[in-house]
């Protein structure tokens, strides 16, 4: 176990989500198929399996059919770790590969788990794969699921899009007895929009609930003419493909040091004087995962320091788009290096090698504090709206 992995393991009690602990990953995909399409689905699955054999990090998968309802199917797959899976599932290659499967499916639900314990029985029980690790310790969550969407709008339309997005009516927070919306934070950087949501309960139920609300549908229709990627929300396949490409998953979340031994910290942003910001880190081609990992290490290490300006941080990453949502004590620019997530000149130098400075409009220099402060300002996203659901 490397020093970084040991650090992440020691911080397990205050990290509610991380894709960077290196443990094996189990992915469960629940599917409800259209009537009478089972053989077409099976043919498509076998074709996908042939292609999956060449995907880095993929170990195996199983296809299962319900004994109670033949329309319900299940795919389980095992991966060396979360990183290669996320690199694949968030790629255009994945979108194209699974398109024939998607045409057969009425509804899907994807679950991702790192493997914590593994047991076998009998003398022929399969040994654990050599060189692959189990999760070192349980992670302690706070009951909140975090997710984001990102998309770009046509240059020149940014002001109009911001006006539309800021003016919508919030949907009803309660989804059902176990699921509710907690917070929606919306930011822009140039023509890129990022919408981060926090949900208590089931994320997919919450997203479907939001999509059905008339006030949300009206906003989505209003921004349609300004999107760089066309979509037709009346067409299920067009809408599904748009939101699949717009998904910006949370790959790491860290909370502050608990005030009580063994206790959970208060909810993000509940501490007085804490303000929410979003920082945009466009990566050089192929460097998105490495950049997200660098920021995750810094945020995990910062959780040791109760005086650190970053009270809580969530890192979202897809391909070469990395967004870091931070709740900061006081001014964002009071400590630029630590707010940026790269305390120390060596970390700043690594960051600058991974960043696409052209996309930020920065010169790429981090020779001193003034350069770091300029880089922080270049990454800082414009807050459009930040709404919390009323407490019941």
In whole numbers, what is the pLDDT of the chain averaged over residues?
Answer: 85
Q: Is residue 311 part of a domain?
A: yes
User: CA angle, corner 230, sides to 227 and 236, nearest 5?
Assistant: 120
**Res. 128: pLDDT tops 70:** no
Both structure tokens of 110: 């994807």
Q: Could you read off the pLDDT of 178-198 as tens digits, one per residue?
A: 899 999 999 999 999 999 999
The whole-number average pLDDT for the span 367-384 is 92
Residue 128 is assigned to a structural domain of this protein: no
Q: If DSSP codes are grouped into helix, strand and coil, which group holds residue 386?
A: strand
With the C-alpha atoms ordered 359, 252, 365, 381, is the resulting torsion angle positive or negative? positive
**pLDDT tens digits for 283-300?**
999 999 999 999 999 988
d(CA 34, CA 28): 19
Residue 11 scores a pLDDT above 50: no
Is the pLDDT reported for residue 127 higher than 60? Answer: no
To which H or E segment does residue 77 belong?
A: strand 72-79
Instruction: Report DSSP letters for 159-210, one per residue.
Output: HHHHHHHHTPPPPPSB-SSS-EEEEEEEEEETTEEEEEEEEES-HHHHHHHH
| Phi, psi for residue 370 in degrees, rounded to 5 | -65, -40
Nearest-angstrom CA–CA distance, 119 and 135: 14
* pLDDT of 376 strictly over 90: yes
What range does the domain containing 379 cover? Answer: 144-260+272-388
Name the β-bridge partners of 194: 150, 187
Are 310 and 171 within one domain?
A: yes
* CATH code of residue 233: 3.30.70.100
Judged against a pLDDT cut of 80, whether residue 260 lies above it is answered with no
187/228 same-domain check = yes
pTM for this model (two decimals)? 0.86
Whether the pLDDT of residue 1 is over 50: the answer is no
- Residue 73's closest CA among 56, 61, 89, 82? 61
Choosing from 69, 99, 114, the residue where a domain stops is 114
96: helix, coil or strand? helix
Pair 304, 362 in one domain: yes
Burial tier of 84 (Cβ tally within 10 Å: 0-12, 13-18, 19+) = middle
* Residue 271 pLDDT: 61
pLDDT > 70 in the chain, percent: 88
Same domain, 212 and 163: yes
Cα gap 360→263, rounded to integer Å = 40
Averaged pLDDT for residues 78-101: 90
The answer to whether 337 and 298 are in contact (CB under 8 A) is no
Rounded to 5 degrees, φ, ψ at 167 are -100, 5
pLDDT tens by residue, 103-124: 899 888 889 999 988 886 555 5
pLDDT at residue 256, rounded to an integer: 59
Q: How many domains does the chain have?
A: 2
User: Counting Cβ atoms within 10 Å, is residue 100 exposed (0-12), middle (13-18) or buried (19+)?
Assistant: middle
Backbone phi, then psi, for 238, in 5-degree steps? -65, -45
> Would residue 242 count as lying in a domain?
yes
189 is a domain residue: yes
Q: What is the pLDDT of residues 147-182, one digit of tens each?
A: 999 999 999 999 999 999 998 888 888 888 889 999
Torsion angle in degrees (nearest 10) through CA of 253, 58, 319, 47: -130
Runs of H (alpha helix) within the chain: 3-10, 38-52, 82-89, 92-102, 158-166, 203-212, 214-223, 236-246, 288-302, 336-340, 345-354, 357-360, 369-379
**Based on the domain organization, do 104 and 155 belong to the same domain?**
no
Quote the CA–CA distance of 64 and 24 in Å, as a whole number.
21
């Amino acid at each position: 176990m490397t020093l970084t992995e040991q650090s992440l393991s020691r911080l397990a009690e205050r990290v509610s989500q991380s894709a960077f602990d290196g443990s094996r990953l189990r992915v469960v995909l629940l599917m409800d198929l259209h009537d009478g399409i089972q053989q077409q689905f099976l043919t498509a699955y076998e074709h996908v399996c042939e292609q999956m054999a060449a995907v880095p990090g993929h170990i195996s998968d199983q296809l299962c059919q319900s004994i109670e309802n033949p329309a319900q199917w299940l795919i389980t797959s095992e991966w060396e770790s979360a990183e290669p899976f996320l690199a694949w599932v968030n790629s255009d290659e994945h979108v194209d590969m699974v398109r024939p499967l998607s045409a057969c499916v009425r509804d899907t639900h994807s679950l991702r788990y790192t493997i914590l314990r593994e047991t076998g029985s009998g003398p022929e029980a399969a040994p654990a794969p050599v060189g692959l690790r189990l999760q070192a310790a349980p992670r302690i969550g706070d009951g909140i699921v975090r997710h984001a969407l990102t998309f770009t709008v046509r240059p020149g339309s940014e002001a109009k899009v911001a006006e539309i997005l800021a003016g919508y009516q919030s949907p009803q927070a309660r989804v059902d007895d176990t699921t509710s919306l907690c917070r929606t934070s919306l930011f822009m950087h140039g023509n890129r929009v990022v919408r981060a949501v926090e949900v208590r309960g089931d994320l997919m139920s919450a997203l479907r609930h939001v999509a059905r609300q008339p006030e949300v549908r009206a906003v989505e229709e209003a921004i349609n003419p300004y999107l760089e990627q066309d979509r037709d929300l009346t067409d299920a396949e067009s809408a599904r493909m748009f939101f699949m490409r717009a998904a910006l998953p949370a790959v790491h979340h860290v909370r502050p040091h608990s005030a009580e031994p063994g206790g959970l910290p208060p909810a993000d942003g509940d501490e007085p004087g804490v303000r929410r910001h979003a920082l945009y880190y466009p990566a050089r081609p192929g460097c998105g995962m490495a950049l997200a990992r660098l920021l995750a290490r810094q945020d995990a290490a910062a959780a040791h320091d109760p005086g650190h300006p970053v009270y809580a941080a969530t890192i979202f990453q897809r391909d070469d788009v990395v967004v870091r949502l931070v709740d900061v004590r006081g001014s964002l620019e009071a400590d630029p290096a630590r707010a940026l997530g790269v305390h120390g000149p060596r970390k700043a130098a690594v960051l600058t090698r991974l960043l696409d400075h052209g996309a930020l409009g920065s010169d790429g220099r981090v020779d001193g504090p003034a350069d770091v402060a300029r880089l922080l300002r270049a990454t800082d996203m414009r807050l459009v709206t930040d709404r919390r659901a009323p407490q019941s």
